[in-house]
């Protein structure tokens, strides 16, 4: 019975830790196990533990540690951010703030001036030309290990060979032979890896060639460490991007436009790592077209103008990458990741260079009124530089690829499934590379199965020759991994055989948009100039409000001109290291494959941003106008001169003001005095008039009071007389006529006049004409005949006697008709009435009765026989009656 050979223990990299607390936590868990992804499990720790060298090699990574993680995420599940080489406090900016749909490529150009001072960052070492331009550059990196390395390396000859002591333990074909490549790397530092194995390719990309750098190797062999690195030991990607800006810095004759995208191939699905994670698959990228016209859509690209912007992009992409804890690697990449930089560049024109040399006060205004071309076509998403004046635009793509590691079946089902996809695609890559190498070696053109995997399809344009390629093969030096390492080295050897024939891609494109923008700027400038010329004349005609509007319109024009001409980043305002906060939001995302609705939304947002920026610009302009005419750094002489000038201006203005005062002051004062006098007279007149009116009103009030009093008195008199007549009748002095209870009418407005008229007519009919006062005669001549003609006269008279209506007072009232009939009665007339005292009369009543009894005579009022003498002696009423009524007494 053959016992199964025990499976060699897989490499268990020691996890470098950044914090001591985390370190102590992890040091207690050196056991290997599997776990699913969590944000914790994806924490990339750094290298304090790497400082534990065993020999000349750097310390070995620790074993994976258990993480209480939930299940791995599905491709479309939004993933949380993890800490990685690009995690930094400066990454705090939300990537969505940088979304701008409509990016003007001219506005995001980077050139040697705009890139800032990066001298401290650039490795000035000569770029080694290893590998040749028609061959793939292949380097091997041996990861440090705590265990004895199974491989012997000779860095000077770039050779690696399995230690002969292990030959007897392995049966992998070819493992015994030695391998020679372009470079062999050991140790932890990433800088030599970049300098020797990547830098020339980055520069080739900047020169207009497509370039691909990818890391290939067994899981946990150090691919991600090599490409991304850590914060302390940045990998190829961050170094390459710094170098890109350094390259621009050293290329004063050209200007560049950079666009980044970041994607991963997970379980044969291409996912956009920069698109917002979504559940409806909107971040799934499709491969469209074939061969050289192959492109990815929809793919979000971000225009970057500084290294800081690149860091933001990397951070977002890293946060979205799928990693998981496996049996071999605590944070294993479960996908192939591709970071792409599209580099467009063109020659700068002479005018631009000259103007750039003398910085404009308005910042990065484009020299010579640089035209703003539109965006590129859909075929190449994102903004495209436009060729200028027949000069071409170079376009190249730098792809930095971190392949997932080949691995054996794991104890986790999910990881096993992922591993299957990973291994299949790596196998296909191997096959494709093998075929290409064989075709190159044997000058054949056998079918290359690019289509067998997404990875090879994606790499097709590069692998088919039109790219400079650098392959970094990472190996685990442990004896337990000799099989995988040998396989990696064999792959590397095959790759070495692939022939390349990379070509620069140049576009000559004379897009009319440039002219359109240039013309718009010229038109706007002309309009502004015209308005400025007319301004003094026009402003005299305009109201204050209109003048404000006019000045706003001019400011708007100015703002638009500045917007259009402010195009190119200059060395003064872009910093390669820390980024430039004064720059417009950058990097700027472009995705022309979004739905129209999404594009509209982004456009709307961008417009809002533009508006608020325009407002800011206006405010800054205003502040600029308000600032002192001299900078604070101006020399004392200049300041003195300015003060003298301004003093002179003030004096001149004072003289002008004085002249006005002298010439116009006196006449104006005279006019003012005249007007004041005139107004004083008018005011006096008006005062008098008002006083008169007030007096008149007071008089009226007084008269009204008197009228009221009189009315009250008259009413009292009436009531007294009514009582008197009643008593009179009750005494039987009214004859045989039955006693009729007096029912005096109630006073009413106009009622006195009506009563008076009625009584007058009654009286007229009752008295002989001769006894009537002349007024009666005049008004209506009374005669017996006439009376006889009045059949009702007798009856009226009788009725009057019966009702006692012919009272002396009423007759008196006849003489003094009514207060209401007189507008303003004289004082004398009223005094007569005032003298009438009914109380006194009533007091006299018993006396009158007594007299009547004693004399036995009759007491008549009206036509009765009562003597006027008695009445007059007893009451002032009787006097009135005697005097006014002219009655026979
Ligand atoms: N040269 C090196 N020096 C120090 N540590 C290293 C080196 N190479 C790799 N490591 C460490 O080894 C561990 C695994 O490395 P890494 O994640 O880069 O492997 P990988 O090949 O990307 O794995 P996978 O394919 O599973 O993603 C990490 O903790 C990393 O820091």
- Condensed to tens digits (0 to 9), the pLDDT of residues 773-825 reads 444 444 444 444 444 444 444 544 444 444 444 444 444 444 444 444 444 44
In short, whether 477's Cβ falls inside 6 Å of ligand 1 is no
Percent of the chain whose predicted confidence (pLDDT) is above 70 = 51
Tens-place pLDDT, residues 11-51: 333 333 333 333 333 333 333 333 333 233 333 333 333 33
- Strand 332-333 relative to strand 323-324: parallel, antiparallel, unpaired? antiparallel
Helix (H, G, I), strand (E, B) or coil at 713: helix
Tens-place pLDDT, residues 493-507: 888 888 877 777 666
157 DSSP 8-state letter: T
From 83, 147, 220, mutation site for ligand 1 pocket: most ligand atoms within 8 A of C-beta: 220
168 DSSP 8-state letter: G
- Alpha carbons within 13 A on the beta-carbon side of 140: 31
Is 219 known as a binding-site position?
Answer: yes
Q: What is the 224 CA–ligand 1 centroid distance (Å)?
A: 6
Torsion region of 286: left, alpha or beta (phi above 0 gives left; psi -120 to 50 gives alpha): beta
Give bridge partners of residue 339 from the DSSP assignment. 262, 400
Residue 381: name the closest of 292, 471, 260 by CA.
Answer: 260
Q: What is the 88 CA–ligand 1 centroid distance (Å)?
A: 20
Whether the bond between 587 and the residue before it is cis, its omega within 30 degrees of 0, is yes
Which sequence spans correspond to the domains of the chain? 89-507, 711-885
Task: Assess contact for 479 and 148: CB atoms under 8 A.
Answer: yes
Position in ligand 1 atom list of the atom nearest CA 403 = 25
Q: Which residues contact 800 (CB under 8 A, 6 or more apart)?
A: 762, 763, 766, 806
The C-alpha R_g of the chain, in whole angstroms, comes to 59
Tens-place pLDDT, residues 842-853: 444 444 444 444
For residues 860 and 758, what is the distance between their CA atoms, to the nearest angstrom?
Answer: 21
What number of other Cβ atoms are within 10 A of residue 434's Cβ?
Answer: 17
Sign of CA dihedral 15, 21, 24, 25: negative
Element at 647 (helix H, strand E): helix 636-730
In short, whether 498's Cβ falls inside 6 Å of ligand 1 is no
CATH architecture of 89-507: 3-Layer(aba) Sandwich (3.40)
Residue 326 in this model has a pLDDT that exceeds 90? no
Q: How many whole angstroms from its chain centre is CA 7? A: 63
Element at 191 (helix H, strand E): helix 191-197
In short, whether 308's Cβ falls inside 6 Å of ligand 1 is no
What number of other Cβ atoms are within 10 A of residue 458's Cβ?
Answer: 24
Q: What is the 15 CA–ligand 1 centroid distance (Å)?
A: 9
Residue 209: name the closest of 220, 219, 200, 218 by CA.
Answer: 200
Which residue's CA is the nearest one to ligand 1's atom 26? 332
Tens-place pLDDT, residues 371-406: 322 222 333 445 666 666 556 778 888 999 999 877
Cα torsion 763, 764, 769, 771 to 10°: value is 30
Which residue's CA is the nearest one to ligand 1's atom 16? 222
Give bridge partners of residue 270 from the DSSP assignment. 265, 285
Which residue's CA is the nearest one to ligand 1's atom 9? 222
Q: What is the 225 CA–ligand 1 centroid distance (Å)?
A: 5
- What ipTM is given for this predicted complex? 0.98
Cα torsion 818, 822, 823, 826 to 10°: value is -110
Q: What is the 203 CA–ligand 1 centroid distance (Å)?
A: 26
Tens-place pLDDT, residues 811-826: 444 444 444 444 444 4
Q: Which residues contact 486 (CB under 8 A, 6 or more apart)?
A: 162, 170, 172, 174, 175
Higher pLDDT, 283 or 390: 283
Mean pLDDT of the chain: 67
Window from 158-167, 495-504, 598-607 with minimum mean pLDDT: 598-607
Q: What is the 493 CA–ligand 1 centroid distance (Å)?
A: 22
User: φ, ψ for residue 532 (rounded to 5)?
Assistant: -65, -40
Tokens describing residue 734: 């009214």
User: φ, ψ for residue 505 (rounded to 5)?
Assistant: -105, 120
Tracing tokens 């992804």 back to the chain, one arrives at 37
For residues 443 and 364, what is the distance between their CA atoms, to the nearest angstrom?
Answer: 53
In short, whether 18's Cβ falls inside 6 Å of ligand 1 is no
Helix (H, G, I), strand (E, B) or coil at 160: strand
Tokens describing residue 107: 């506005």
For residues 438 and 495, what is the distance between their CA atoms, to the nearest angstrom?
Answer: 10
Buried b (16+ CB within 10 A) or exposed e, 816-825: bebbeeeeeb
């Amino acid at each position: 019975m053959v016992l199964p050979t025990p499976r060699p223990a897989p490499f268990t990299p020691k996890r470098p830790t950044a914090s001591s607390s985390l370190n102590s936590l992890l040091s207690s868990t050196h056991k290997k196990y599997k776990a699913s992804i969590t944000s914790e499990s994806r924490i990339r720790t750094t290298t304090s533990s790497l400082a534990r060298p065993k020999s000349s090699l750097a310390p070995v990574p620790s074993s994976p540690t258990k993480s209480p993680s939930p299940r791995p995420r599905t491709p479309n599940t939004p993933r949380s951010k993890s800490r990685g080489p690009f995690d930094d406090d400066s990454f705090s900016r939300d990537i969505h703030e940088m979304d701008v749909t409509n990016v003007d490529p001219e506005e995001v150009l980077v050139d040697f001036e705009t890139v800032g001072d990066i001298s401290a960052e650039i490795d000035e070492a000569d770029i080694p030309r290893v590998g040749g331009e028609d061959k793939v550059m292949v380097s091997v990196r041996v990861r440090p290990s705590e265990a004895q390395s199974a491989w012997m390396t000779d860095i000077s000859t770039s050779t690696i060979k399995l230690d002969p002591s292990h030959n007897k333990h392995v049966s992998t074909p070819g493992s015994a032979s030695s391998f020679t490549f372009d470079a062999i790397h050991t140790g932890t530092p990433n800088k030599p890896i970049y300098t020797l194995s990547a830098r020339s390719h980055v520069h080739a990309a900047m020169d207009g060639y497509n370039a691909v750098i990818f890391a290939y190797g067994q899981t946990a062999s150090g691919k991600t460490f090599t490409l991304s690195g850590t914060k302390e030991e940045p990998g190829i990607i961050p170094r390459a991007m710094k170098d890109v800006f350094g390259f621009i810095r050293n290329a004063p004759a050209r200007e560049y436009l950079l666009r980044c995208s970041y994607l991963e191939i997970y379980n044969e699905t291409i996912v956009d790592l920069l698109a917002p994670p979504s559940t409806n698959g909107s971040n799934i990228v499709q491969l469209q077209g074939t061969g050289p016209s192959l492109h990815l859509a929809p793919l979000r690209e971000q225009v970057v103008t500084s290294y800081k912007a690149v860091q933001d992009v990397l951070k977002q992409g890293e946060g979205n990458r799928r990693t998981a804890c496996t049996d071999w690697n605590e944070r294993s990449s479960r996908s192939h990741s591709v970071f792409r930089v599209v580099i467009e560049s063109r020659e700068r024109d002479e005018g631009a260079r000259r103007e750039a040399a003398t910085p404009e006060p308005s910042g990065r205004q484009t020299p010579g009124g640089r035209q703003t071309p539109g965006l590129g076509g859909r075929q190449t998403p994102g903004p495209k530089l436009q060729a200028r004046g027949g000069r071409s635009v170079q376009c190249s793509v730098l792809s930095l690829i971190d392949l997932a590691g080949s691995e054996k079946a794991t104890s986790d089902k999910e990881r096993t499934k992922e591993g299957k996809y990973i291994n299949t695609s790596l196998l296909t890559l191997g096959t494709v590379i093998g075929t290409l190498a064989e075709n190159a070696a044997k000058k054949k053109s056998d079918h290359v199965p690019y289509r067998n995997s997404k990875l090879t399809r994606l790499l097709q344009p590069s692998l088919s020759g039109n790219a400079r390629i650098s392959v970094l093969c990472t190996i685990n030096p442990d004896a337990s991994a000799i099989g995988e390492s040998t396989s990696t080295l064999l792959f590397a050897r095959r790759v070495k055989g692939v022939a390349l024939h990379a070509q620069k891609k140049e576009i000559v494109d004379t897009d009319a948009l440039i002219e359109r923008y240039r013309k718009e700027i010229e038109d706007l400038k002309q309009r502004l100039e015209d308005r400025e010329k007319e301004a003094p004349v026009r402003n005299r005609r305009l109201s204050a409000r209109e003048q404000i509007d006019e000045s706003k319109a001019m400011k708007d024009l100015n703002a638009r001109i500045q917007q259009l001409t402010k195009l190119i980043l200059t060395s003064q305002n872009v910093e390669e290291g820390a980024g430039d906060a004064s720059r417009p939001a950058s990097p700027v995302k472009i995705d022309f494959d979004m739905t129209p609705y999404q594009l509209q939304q982004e456009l709307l947002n961008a417009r809002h941003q533009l508006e608020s920026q325009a407002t800011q610009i206006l405010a800054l302009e205003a502040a600029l106008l308000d600032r002192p005419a001299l900078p604070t750094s101006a020399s004392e002489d200049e300041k003195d001169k300015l003060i003298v000038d301004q003093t002179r201006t003030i004096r001149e203005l004072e003289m002008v003001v004085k002249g006005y005062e002298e010439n116009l002051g006196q006449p104006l004062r005279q006019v003012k005095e005249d007007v004041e006098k005139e107004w004083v007279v008018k005011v006096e007149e008006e005062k008098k008039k008002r006083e008169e009116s007030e007096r008149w009103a007071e008089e009226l009030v007084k008269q009204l009071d008197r009228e009221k009093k009189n009315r009250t008195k008259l009413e009292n008199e009436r009531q007294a007389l009514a009582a008197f007549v009643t008593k009179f009748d009750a005494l039987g002095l009214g004859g045989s006529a039955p006693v009729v209870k007096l029912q005096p009418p109630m006073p009413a407005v106009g009622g006195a006049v009506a009563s008076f008229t009625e009584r007058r007519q009654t009286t007229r009919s009752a008295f002989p004409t001769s006894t009537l006062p002349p007024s009666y005669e005049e008004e209506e001549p009374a005669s017996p005949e006439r009376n006889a003609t009045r059949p009702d006269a007798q009856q009226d008279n009788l009725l009057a006697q019966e009702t006692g209506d012919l009272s002396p007072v009423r007759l008196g009232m006849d003489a003094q008709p009514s207060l209401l009939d007189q507008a303003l009665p004289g004082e004398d007339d009223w005094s007569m009435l005032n003298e009438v005292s009914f109380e006194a009369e009533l007091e006299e009543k018993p006396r009158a009765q007594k007299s009547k009894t004693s004399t036995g005579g009759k007491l008549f009022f009206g036509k009765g026989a009562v003597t006027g003498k008695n009445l007059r002696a007893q009451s002032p009423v009787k006097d009135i009656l005697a005097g006014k009524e002219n009655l026979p007494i």
